[in-house]
Amino acid sequence: MRIVNYLFLLGIQCMFVPLLLAQSKPNIDRKVALAGNEAIYLSELDLPLTLKLYDLDWQAYEMRYAALARLLEERKKSNIQILLKPPQPPRIQLPSRRQPAIGNKSAPVHLSIFCSYVSAPCARLQPVLSSLKERFGSLLRFVFYDRPMPFHRHGKLVAIAARCAHSQGKLQDFQHALFAQFSQMDQLRILSIARQLNLEIKSFQSCMQKKKFEPEVMKDIKLAQNLGLGNVPVVFINGLYIKGPQQVENYAGYIDSELLKQNIQHEEMQRRDAVVYKEQAKQPLIGSNQRPISRRWLSTQLVHQVELASQFVAATHQIEGVRLLKLKNVEATPFFQELGLKSDDVVLRVNGQWVHEEHNPLWSVLEMESNVSLELMRQGLPVKYDFKIQ
């Protein structure tokens, strides 16, 4: 069971940081048909199918992952290296137009949510969105798109009602009331909610009767169809396609990834990183057998310790109030190449000692010790190198 549990941990990490771990497919376009003298290319077929093709890729990944877990459990090996990568979610450029929205207009992360107010899965998504709002605050903006499914009774009517409430500045309260009663929705219930929220009833009723916002609702429905969206909810995080519903931590992982791309780190992320790094330091680490390094060669390299040390920079991640160190621009440096280190590796510990901006024991350990163990994080996964200096 320990192997399966460890796979589960890595599987969650893969869901959290798909942009860091996923392998990109080669962009190969080819002719698939000729219409007279005009060629039809594969890209013309795939573009409108982007999201559906990704859904199929993800299903294949889940089946392979489950099969891999069974095989590793049968073989009961302790040193596990997971090479199977999840598919990369596509990033969609949604059309820029005025949509009902809540939150900071200049927020670095936008959640574009396709939902129906009479959908049970969308109703279950609401506590998740509330948790994300509480955790990330002004870093998020929630943008709403109407996606009433054909089988959703009163779905279009309720979508129009929500926009009428939005025109009176009561979108968020109206949404909460709608989802709380999603299975009992009809015109009388909508008017009851409007009265409870002290909307200007005559104006609201006029907006409903004239179906003032029906064109906007139909545009959203058409957009969802053009994108090939299936059942709701569907969330795009800065355009990144996340088929739902998901757990809070899954969405939070994608949001963290988007924030880190913009060099933004919030207090909750720092607190969680400290816990995660300590826990992952206890996990079985991906690595190889002990590697020999020449003491003579190492001595010639450590002469340049000042220059080498300058390639360690403070990471955004913190542990116990101090920032960890990561490597920068090391690909052309023979010292780091020989140790197997790469740019953006976050160095955790050397021979059990934590490495951070106030203390980097790497140099003294390399000078004094014959057996050196180096632990780091690479693309969200723990990695370990063992060296025999001789």
pLDDT tens column, 138-152 = 999 999 999 988 888
- CB burial of 9-26 (b: ≥16 within 10 Å; e: otherwise) equals ebbebbbbbbebbbeeee
Residue type, 367: E
Q: Which residue has the higher pLDDT, 2 or 168?
A: 168
**Is the confidence at residue 244, as pLDDT, over 80?**
no
28 phi-psi bin (left φ>0, alpha ψ -120 to 50, beta other): beta
Nearest by Cα to 373 from 285, 276, 306: 285
Q: Write down the pLDDT at residue 206.
A: 94
Residue with more model confidence, 205 or 276: 205
List the domains of the chain with CATH numbers.
2-75 (no CATH), 101-264 (3.40.30.10), 283-389 (2.30.42.10)
Predicted confidence (pLDDT) per residue in 333-355, tens digit? 888 888 888 888 888 889 888 88
pLDDT reading at 234 higher than 80: yes
Rounded average pLDDT over 214-223: 94
**Least trusted range by pLDDT, from 22-26, 27-31, 378-382:** 22-26
Q: Is the distance from CB of 309 to CB of 325 less than 8 angstroms?
A: no
CA distances to 101, 160, 230 from 190, rounded to whole Å, are 20, 11, 27
pLDDT for res 267: 64
Q: Tell me the mean pLDDT in the region 181-200.
A: 89
pLDDT score for 185 = 86
For the chain, give the percent of residues with pLDDT over 70.
85
| pLDDT band for position 223 (cuts 50, 70, 90) | very high
What integer pLDDT is reported at residue 132 of this predicted model?
93
User: How many Cβ atoms from other residues are within 10 Å of residue 211's Cβ?
Assistant: 13
- What is the distance between the alpha carbons of residues 192 and 201, in angstroms, rounded to a whole number? 10
Residue 346 region by backbone torsions, left for phi larger than 0, else alpha for psi between -120 and 50, else beta? beta
Whether 134 has a pLDDT exceeding 80, the answer reads yes
- Residue 307: pLDDT above 70? yes
**Which whole-number Å values give the CA distances from 262 to 1, 23, 139, 314, in the listed order?**
38, 22, 12, 16
CB burial readout 285-321, b (16+ within 10 A) else e:
bbbeeeeebeeeebeebeeeeeebeebbeebbbbbee
In the predicted model, what is the mean pLDDT of the chain? 82
Q: Shortest CA distance to 259 belongs to which of 364, 387, 136, 389?
A: 136
pLDDT digits (tens, 9 = 90+) for 253-295: 889 888 888 888 666 555 555 555 555 444 444 444 467 888 8
Q: What is the pLDDT of residues 67-111, one digit of tens each?
A: 888 888 888 776 777 788 888 889 988 887 789 999 998 999 999
Residue bearing tokens 């996340």: 242
Answering whether pTM is above 0.85, one says: no
